[in-house]
Structure 1
Amino acid sequence: IERLAGRARAGIATPSEILALRQSLEAVPRVRAVLQRDASRFGASLASLPACERVLELIRNAVNDEPPTRGEHAGVIREGFSEELDSLRALLRNGKTFLAEMEQRVRARTWIKSLRVGYNKVFGYFIEVTRPNLHLVPAGYTRKQTLAQSERFVTLELKEYESLVLNSQERIGELEMSLFRHVCADISKSRDELLAAASTLAHLDAVASFAQSAARWNYVRPSVVDEKLLHIQAGRHPVLERLLEEKEFVANDTELGGEGGAEIALITGPNMSGKSTYLRQSALIVIMAQAGSFVPARAATVGLTDRVYTRIGLYDRIGSGESTFMTEMVETAHILHHATPRSLVLLDELGRGTSTYDGLAVARAVLEYIHNHPRLRAKTLFATHYHELTELAETLPRLRNLHVEIAEQGSDLVFLYKVAPGVAEGSYGVYAAKLAGLPRPVVTRAEELLHEYEGGAVADEEATDEALEHFDASTWGRGARIVEELLDADLNSLSPVEALMKLFELRRMAEGDGEKGLKALKTA
């Protein structure tokens, strides 16, 4: 209603749009009748819902139920709305009768029984006479066209009628356009009334939709509190659960914030296990709760949230020269600059658009920043395949590890879609590639390379542990003291002999006689 009223006011509405406005306004009396059944509860809605009877009656009287196709103007205005338009239309409707009567009169006057009055788009109206009867043609007829078997003539009466018909058609088009513009202008005079009706109907429509969904799909009333928390029991995705008609949607809990609760949930799990769905359903439940709707869950306590920030999916911006990773970083920067403790942040596989170590470093730094920055500390759901990040739970007290459970059946995986505390054993990316239909040789080779890479990582870790076991802290300390002495020495004031003595003492420090070397250096 609001859009169509605006187009009518601007004078750009089409007849079809005016009819659509009429159909919408015809629902107003029915809605008012429903509200009047319980006026004590819906009195405010009744008061703010005007009937719009004047506009509705105007459209019913002015515009035909079946307007012409796009680009045509004739036939828009209903019969009986304009006397002038009705008379012009009657003239055109009676044209065939007039031609038939004229044909009979001319035949009787000229005794030419084969005489015919006709019309074509090239020559207009004409009187056709066959060649054997040309000698009977009156002198006042003007020859217009010669054919093989006949000739065509015009008369003054026929020309006058033709001019009247053509002018009538043109006048009908102009008059209908003018009348339609006046109808639109008259509708725009009631714009405030139409906008009030549109606002009330939109509100009632939203509330009715919320109520119907809640009753049909077993939603519950959430508790919206003025606290920095999000507690959801058995939450579900409102869209995805409707698409899974053959199997039941697996509900999951969400616990963020509150007294001593974790503010960041780090979620690991295989590809296609449901991590992104878990993130999205939590955000949708928050939005639905603050919009006034019941939510798909067993119970929900939602703290007031000022914004929901998301960094989900991969895409680039070729037009502005931003790669996939740059787009990811720009959006992440926006989140870190503007999120507050009242915000809900969703980060899905942050850092995957670049090399492994770069992505891991960025992801860890972002997590630490969200956790430690006093202005931020937003409720955060962070899904990742960087399993190294799970070690942060030991150093970041408000971070909690979650994982999506799976069951292994031989060489196959069964996705349970259940989120539970803990860390996932792996990402199973090769298995996902197999499910996607990659050729068998590719999958086999990927499995071989995966075992090779994992073996190399274990070997590197063992080598690092061995190096740490043989690490000599005293040697490391001597090196630090040597560097310190070198930086403190004033090389510009040393003589060649003093420089050789300093170099000798530094060598003695490197060999282990640090204290004696240091004293000798000071004496020098």
Structure 2
Amino acid sequence: MALTYTPMIQQYLRVKADYQDAFLFFRLGDFYEMFFDDAIRASQELEITLTSREGGTEERIPMCGVPYHSAPGYIEQLVEKGYKVAICEQTEDPKQAKGVVKREVVQLITPGTMMEGKGLTDKENNYIASITAFDHQTFAFVCNDLSTGETKAAFLSGGFDTVLNELFLSGAREVVVGSDFSEEWQAKIKERSQITFSIENDDQQQGHYVPLLEKLEKNELRLASSRLLNYLHRTQKRSLDHLQVVEVYHIDEYVKIDYYSKRNLELTETIRSKGKKGSLLWLLDETKTAMGGRLLKQWIDRPLMNKQEITRRHDLVDTLISAYFEREELREKLKEVYDLERLAGRVAFGNVNARDLIQLKKSLQQIPHLKQMVHDLSTEEAEKLAERLDSCEEATDLLEQAIVDHPPLSVKEGNIIRDGYHGELDTYRDASRNGKNWIAQLERQEREKTGIKSLKIGYNRVFGYYIEVTRANLPHLPEGLYERKQTLTNAERFVTPELKETEALILQAEEKSVELEYELFAMVREQIKTYIPRLQALAKTVSELDVLQCFAAISEQRHYVRPYFSAERRVYIKEGRHPVVEKVMKAQEYVPNDCLMDQEREILLITGPNMSGKSTYMRQIALTAILAQIGCFVPAESAELPIFDQVFTRIGAADDLISGQSTFMVEMLEAKNAIVNATQNSLILFDEIGRGTSTYDGMALAQAMIEYIHEHIGAKTLFSTHYHELTVLQEELQQLKNVHVSAAEQNGKVVFLHKIKEGPADKSYGIHVAQLAELPDELIARANTILAGFEKQHQDQQNQPQRETKQEPVLKAHEPLAQLSFFDEKEPEPKQTQLSSKEKKILQHLKSIEILEMTPMQAFNELYELHKKIKG
């Protein structure tokens, strides 16, 4: 037997059928109500009371609700948790409705489409992305920030890993795909992100936004962009006039820094806290505007490879450093500029209020001053920048004439439009004000007439205007003077025909005044809409100016220098410093270090104790290169650099528990990414490769990687290691040089000097580091005893005749196995009875193949164990 619900619940179910993946906020009077499963889940997520109501069946229906005026806060909570919320409003006057009031969804709010509230961070974009696959190798990636209107698109041909990298770099909170999007790909995204998925199958171009696609030559990008734009229009259900023309970007034009390398270098957030503090972004962010802060993050995410554009930025930073007083005045003016991008978005979206428009006006009033200050810098690039600062004077004048300086928050309660802006509004206001003056005058007259000094004329929304007399004074009131209106405990309220007439005039004037003010406000808003493209162009220029002054301020404060670019791929950093560590150390003195890498020093093999600064040194080289290529000066006494095309890092150790990968597997995957994709113009940082497995396995892998990079890639590489055996590679690999972080022993304790010097380290100081970590004294003493024993045993073996005890074999670079001691032809043949059948087969096999001419790194351990047994 089918359930029969009430008409209202049936209406709810019809609407809900189209929004199965969202909470449906169903408007009933002054509340948004939720029913069935939505109510149960919402009551848990929002911690609100779950109730029930009759729905036409024997069982009561679960229900919960929130007042409409406080709904935005609850909606934000749900969206922040990754949910979607569909807002279903009454679309007809309940008084005129025949039957159930008509309702429909007016907006779908999702993590990627938020336009206001705490979910939007001032200095971060809120991207929604779209991925369209054309085959397993080619994809279109599009991302949009609805709050600013910007849309970017890229054609990717490097397989799905490239797509993942772009998605995670964008920080998108929502991704739109077709219903045929691979479940395997969805799973890969979900492994590493709490991103919200949305389905949009319509990728056909719609007439109202076709102009936004004009820069897209590839049809694949037009299809992918259409998919995302269709989703935005379908969910927001309004004109999105602030959407900008889709900009194409080519990932090959920027330095490629994969997601893992970005995380390891802590460019925009730290590994431990996942917060901004302690990152390069934290260090650099001296921007004064929200939009400047967003652009700074974009520049850090995508360093440039175009030398001409990098040089242009450096020229402007140089100019701003030289003009200290002008720069300081510029910074003060930028503080008065609000978020032009998001203000323009709110104007188009229709949720702008009068206070927002005042912020817009105040911002535009600063532009002529900024323009003049930049022009006065008197360089060609500064003058070009000044020309792009459009003050939009007509918009400023309109807002100055129309909107009062201190409007209320609500746009429907009046007191927004300035006197003198509109004649009819002035007439209504005059009537209202005169009426109120008449009321005040009437109150004085009635007091004199009755002799009752406490008599007053008041107003409330239920009874309108009234004359109030306290009960004690009623005997003094002439009989029949007033018409009784309301009786209170301590007073009586009265009206007169004149008071009623004046009340009607006042209320009519006020009502019409408020209605007209809202109409005028809407007209002003529509006029400001026409300036949106100019406002967005202005916002881009102000953002760029803000970031450049930020670079200048940081460079001057922290004594950074302008880098120069080498055509010979030479790295020479004199007295370089780690920018973030230097700031964190505060009063302590940071120890600077040089770095020289040229055609004879492509690989630096770095040895030295733990905690001595190897990782810091490696990171500072990468950060210096990134700073240079985003257009900032660098922390050094001088710096000559190549323009890198990619930066790869394998620093630090962390299990990837989400995808079930161990520390060692993560290490190998990151190493593989670098080795497979790096070019001669790349920068590779490898820190302690191979620690996650046995000593010989780890050493073999580390050496093989170094050899491969040296012979097949030629990238500038910093390779730190505790495998001191690898330092012999300097004799075999022409472009590899040993350097070490120096340390000294004083009174039995290690002192880290944090200074990079030529040559290999003489020891690891591992026990000293353990002592610094305050392990028990007994344990430290025992470790020293054991170490002394190992060292004596090794020395004894060294002193014994070569024939009796041989050193453990060390495989040099490209050394064939024939040269290893245990394949010495002078050795006597082992007795066959000493070997197992398996070992006999192995030995026979080695004799039958050309193994002696190979370099079998992978077989090293097994062969060595066999050798020891053969020797007895």
| Structure 1 and Structure 2 fold alike (TM over 0.5) | yes
Map 1:50-65 → 2, pairs under 5 A: 50-65=390-405
* Distance in 2 (alpha carbons) for counterparts of 1:351 and 1:481: 29
5+ long unaligned stretches in structure 1: 488-524
* Distance in 2 (alpha carbons) for counterparts of 1:365 and 1:173: 79
Residue 468 to residue 209, structure 1, CA distance change in 2 (3 Å): same
* Distance in 1 (alpha carbons) for counterparts of 2:667 and 2:410: 46
Map of 1:343 onto structure 2: 682
The superposition leaves residues 154-213 of structure 1 with CA deviations (integer Å, 9 ceiling, x where unpaired) of: 455545655666666666665555444443433332233333333333444444444455
SS of aligned partner of 1:231 = strand
1:410 to partner: Cα distance: 0.9
1:219 to partner: Cα distance: 3.9
Map of 2:475 onto structure 1: 133
* Distance in 2 (alpha carbons) for counterparts of 1:320 and 1:75: 58
* Distance in 2 (alpha carbons) for counterparts of 1:71 and 1:319: 48
* Distance in 1 (alpha carbons) for counterparts of 2:695 and 2:605: 18
2:679 and 2:715 in contact (8 A); partners too = yes
1:142 and 1:154 in contact (8 A); partners too = yes
Map 1:361-400 → 2, pairs under 5 A: 362-372=701-711, 374=712, 376-400=713-737
* Distance in 1 (alpha carbons) for counterparts of 2:703 and 2:533: 55
* Distance in 1 (alpha carbons) for counterparts of 2:513 and 2:737: 76
2:468 and 2:494 in contact (8 A); partners too = yes
* Distance in 2 (alpha carbons) for counterparts of 1:352 and 1:424: 18
Determine which of 599, 606, 623 is the counterpart of 1:267. Answer: 606
Matched, 1:445 2:779: yes
1:99 to partner: Cα distance: 3.0
Map 1:234-313 → 2, pairs under 5 A: 234-258=575-599, 261-313=600-652
Determine which of 738, 749, 752 is the counterpart of 1:415. Answer: 752
1:342 to partner: Cα distance: 0.9
1:73 to partner: Cα distance: 6.0
Residue 89 to residue 299, structure 1, CA distance change in 2 (3 Å): same
1:422 to partner: Cα distance: 2.0
Matched, 1:475 2:829: yes
1:223 to partner: Cα distance: 2.6
**Letter of the aligned partner of 2:372 in structure 1?**
A
Residue 7 to residue 427, structure 1, CA distance change in 2 (3 Å): farther
Residue 97 to residue 212, structure 1, CA distance change in 2 (3 Å): same
**Letter of the aligned partner of 2:612 in structure 1?**
S
Residue 218 to residue 371, structure 1, CA distance change in 2 (3 Å): same
* Distance in 1 (alpha carbons) for counterparts of 2:560 and 2:341: 31
5+ long unaligned stretches in structure 2: 1-339, 808-820, 846-872
2:432 and 2:505 in contact (8 A); partners too = no
1:11 and 1:185 in contact (8 A); partners too = no
* Distance in 2 (alpha carbons) for counterparts of 1:92 and 1:326: 77
1:273 to partner: Cα distance: 2.1
1:92 and 1:168 in contact (8 A); partners too = yes
* Distance in 2 (alpha carbons) for counterparts of 1:165 and 1:362: 88
- Higher CA-based Rg: 1
1:306 to partner: Cα distance: 0.8
Map of 2:532 onto structure 1: 191
The superposition leaves residues 345-375 of structure 1 with CA deviations (integer Å, 9 ceiling, x where unpaired) of: 2223344566666655544443333233x2x
Residue 209 to residue 486, structure 1, CA distance change in 2 (3 Å): closer
Q: Higher helix proportion, which one?
A: 1
**Letter of the aligned partner of 2:727 in structure 1?**
T
Residue 135 to residue 255, structure 1, CA distance change in 2 (3 Å): closer
Map of 1:151 onto structure 2: 492
1:142 and 1:155 in contact (8 A); partners too = no
1:263 to partner: Cα distance: 1.6
* Distance in 1 (alpha carbons) for counterparts of 2:343 and 2:792: 68
* Distance in 2 (alpha carbons) for counterparts of 1:33 and 1:300: 34
1:264 and 1:399 in contact (8 A); partners too = yes
* Distance in 2 (alpha carbons) for counterparts of 1:162 and 1:319: 70
* Distance in 2 (alpha carbons) for counterparts of 1:431 and 1:95: 89
1:108 to partner: Cα distance: 5.9
2:372 and 2:386 in contact (8 A); partners too = no
* Distance in 1 (alpha carbons) for counterparts of 2:522 and 2:654: 47
Map 1:85-124 → 2, pairs under 5 A: 85-86=425-426, 97-107=437-447, 115-120=455-460, 124=464
Residue 179 to residue 368, structure 1, CA distance change in 2 (3 Å): farther
Map of 1:333 onto structure 2: 672
Residue 28 to residue 338, structure 1, CA distance change in 2 (3 Å): same
SS of aligned partner of 1:288 = helix
Residue 62 to residue 368, structure 1, CA distance change in 2 (3 Å): farther
1:5 to partner: Cα distance: 2.9
Map of 1:44 onto structure 2: 384
Aligned length: 479
Residue 176 to residue 226, structure 1, CA distance change in 2 (3 Å): farther
Residue 221 to residue 320, structure 1, CA distance change in 2 (3 Å): same
* Distance in 1 (alpha carbons) for counterparts of 2:781 and 2:355: 62
1:447 to partner: Cα distance: 4.8
- Of stretches 402-411 and 105-114 in structure 1, the one that deviates more from structure 2 is 105-114
* Distance in 1 (alpha carbons) for counterparts of 2:654 and 2:476: 83
1:341 and 1:377 in contact (8 A); partners too = yes
SS of aligned partner of 1:136 = coil
1:267 to partner: Cα distance: 1.6
Residue 370 to residue 133, structure 1, CA distance change in 2 (3 Å): farther
1:109 to partner: Cα distance: 6.2
The superposition leaves residues 116-170 of structure 1 with CA deviations (integer Å, 9 ceiling, x where unpaired) of: 32245665543223444387353761432232x4322345554565566666666
1:483 to partner: Cα distance: 3.6
Percent identity of equivalent pairs: 41
- Of stretches 377-386 and 79-88 in structure 1, the one that deviates more from structure 2 is 79-88
**Letter of the aligned partner of 2:783 in structure 1?**
L
2:450 and 2:476 in contact (8 A); partners too = no
Map 1:444-463 → 2, pairs under 5 A: 444-449=778-783, 451-452=785-786, 455-456=789-790, 459=793
* Distance in 1 (alpha carbons) for counterparts of 2:437 and 2:841: 117
Map of 1:31 onto structure 2: 370
1:64 and 1:77 in contact (8 A); partners too = yes
Matched, 1:424 2:761: yes
2:485 and 2:495 in contact (8 A); partners too = yes
* Distance in 1 (alpha carbons) for counterparts of 2:794 and 2:565: 51
* Distance in 1 (alpha carbons) for counterparts of 2:707 and 2:517: 70
* Distance in 2 (alpha carbons) for counterparts of 1:91 and 1:350: 83
Map of 2:127 onto structure 1: none
1:395 to partner: Cα distance: 3.8
Map 1:501-520 → 2, pairs under 5 A: none
SS of aligned partner of 1:262 = coil
* Distance in 2 (alpha carbons) for counterparts of 1:116 and 1:22: 43
* Distance in 1 (alpha carbons) for counterparts of 2:697 and 2:510: 76
- TM norm structure 2: 0.48
